[in-house]
A and B are shown apart, each in its own frame.
Chain A
Amino acid sequence: MTSPIAGGVDCDLHPAVPHLTSLLPYMNDYWRDQVTTRGMTDLVSQSYPTNSPISSRPDWRPGQGKPGSDLADMQRQALDPFRVRYGICNPLYGVQMVFSEDMQDAFCRALNDWLVKEWLDKDARLRGSIVIPTQSVEKSVAEIERCGKDSRFVQVLLLVMGDMPLGKRAYWPIYAAAERLGLTIGIHAGSAYHNPPTSIGWGSYHIEDYVAQATAFQTQLTSLIVEGVFARHPALKMVMLESGFTWLPAYLWRLHKFWRGIRMETPWVDRAPLEIVRSNIRFSLQPVDAPPDPATLNRLFDHMQSDELLLFSTDYPHWQFDGDEVLPPGLSGDLVRKIMIDNPLATYGRLEFAKETTP
């Protein structure tokens, strides 16, 4: 196995909201009454059923309650053993499934405030992602600006399966706000289920949805690149979270091949897609969708033609690896340092900024 080094950044941790009622203290009177008088249920997405094996490593599953809902567990199971300097919290609470922009806004604000009070305030290593009400771009921008004042928020979080492809120009004010405030855009596996969870309709199984997440990332990457998001925002960094990455080389070969012939359709894409990925896109390490032999993985790294694309992640508490084998076998010491420290610090501009300004 490859040993992690101290001082890294865990870019994908999932603190769990115990229940919708946990957010009530962070809602105004109207929404508190709405939740209680209408008997609203907990917002658990089918993307991560609480008891699904992928939703928690067996030995990380608590005696009661949702995996990842207890800070002490997270400290003991992820932050301490992997000796990270920072851990970035990406709450996957199912607020994206809500259709009303007003309700979604209320729930997102509550979720972000909950993250600050219940997590970021309680462990200085933790950093946050701003969950936004994508049903309204205007409200999303307002929430980014509101939360962005707290330098511990380092990222804006989107789900990979939503209402529209993420490159669509309607979303660009979100990217402009993120760039202006030095925030990274994180795109995480999961669906709002506003569209069928695969490109060809509804499958039968949870496993099908999960496997399809990787293809959803591929379609989003195409959208972001060909719509010209990075021509407009060349400094913007986007991180694909829990996306898998072994699909990237073959995906880029295909995109590059077609771009060369249809360049005139999207002329703002004025360099090869691979170059755009190298400058603007990063991927969290877990899951590593490859066999455990170092030879295959090292070939894949060679196909990726860059050692700057991967960012260390445990995907805590999701079940992606066992024991302390968070790093796949056969990585060089130099690559470990890049994945765990250099690449995340270069991606999340606010991490170093926060260090300077937070006591």
Chain B
Amino acid sequence: MVRHVIAPVDELPPGTRKFLIIDERPIAIFNIKGEFFGLLNRCPHQGAALCEGPLIGLAQSSNPGEIEYTKLGEIIRCPWHGWEFDIRTGQSYCDPKRFRARAYPVNVEPGSAVVKGPYVAETIKVAVESDYVVVDL
């Protein structure tokens, strides 16, 4: 596993997502209300760019007609076939046993730690006084 420095925290404010390719893998990093998440930008179903889909909530119901709507903004819906995935775990909701989107841990690290390594950050300039978004893959 390699830790990649993606961007200074300021460049990924809440409600934004960043697309990048790391070692030929398409990745998207999301900032959702200050929390960071990483997903492979490829739907496990038919290969669509999953992370271009909208972030919605999770509709569940134990009583027809009554809908509990939770995890607001934490469910990514595939831009093609509409499959829903939990951005925290990559779990699909239509077939959780067979289909899961690849999720990557994303953390915020202080520049002082990033400078020491073992991070890969050759395309980003790291300053000790800033915080950075770091993805493990």
Binding site for B on A (CB under 8 A): 169, 227-229, 231-232, 259-264, 266-268, 270, 272
Contacts and interface: CB of A to CB of B under 8 A. Distances in A.
Contacts of B124: none
Contacts, number: 47
A9 to B, nearest CB: 32
A contact face: mostly helix, strand, loop, or mixed: helix
B94 A228 contact: no
B83 A270 contact: no
A290 B52 CA distance: 45
Given A260-B81, A261-B83, A268 B93 contact: no
Contacts of A227: 64
Contact of B82 (A169, A262, A270, A272): A262
Nearest to A259: B94
B55 to A, nearest CB: 13
Given A259-B94, A263-B93, A232 B56 contact: no
Contacts of B93: 263
B133 to A, nearest CB: 30
Contacts of A263: 59, 84, 93-94
A267 B95 contact: no
Contacts of B94: 259-261, 263
A231 B84 contact: no
A268 B83 contact: no
B83 A267 contact: no
B59 A169 contact: no
Interface string B62-81: 11110100000000011001
Q: Which of A227, A259, A260, A262 has the most C-beta atoms of chain B within 10 angstroms of its own C-beta?
A: A260
A269 B94 CA distance: 10
22 contacts: A169-B64, A169-B65, A228-B65, A229-B64, A231-B63, A231-B64, A232-B63, A259-B94, A260-B82, A260-B83, A260-B94, A260-B95, A261-B78, A263-B93, A264-B59, A267-B61, A267-B67, A268-B61, A268-B63, A268-B64, A270-B61, A272-B95
A169 B63 CA distance: 12
Contact of B81 (A229, A232, A261, A270): A261
Contacts of B63: 231-232, 268
Q: 9 tightest A-B contacts by CB?
A: A228-B64, A261-B82, A260-B94, A268-B61, A267-B59, A268-B64, A261-B81, A267-B61, A264-B59
B117 to A, nearest CB: 43
Contacts of A232: 63-64
A191 to B, nearest CB: 27
Contacts of A266: 64
Nearest to A231: B64
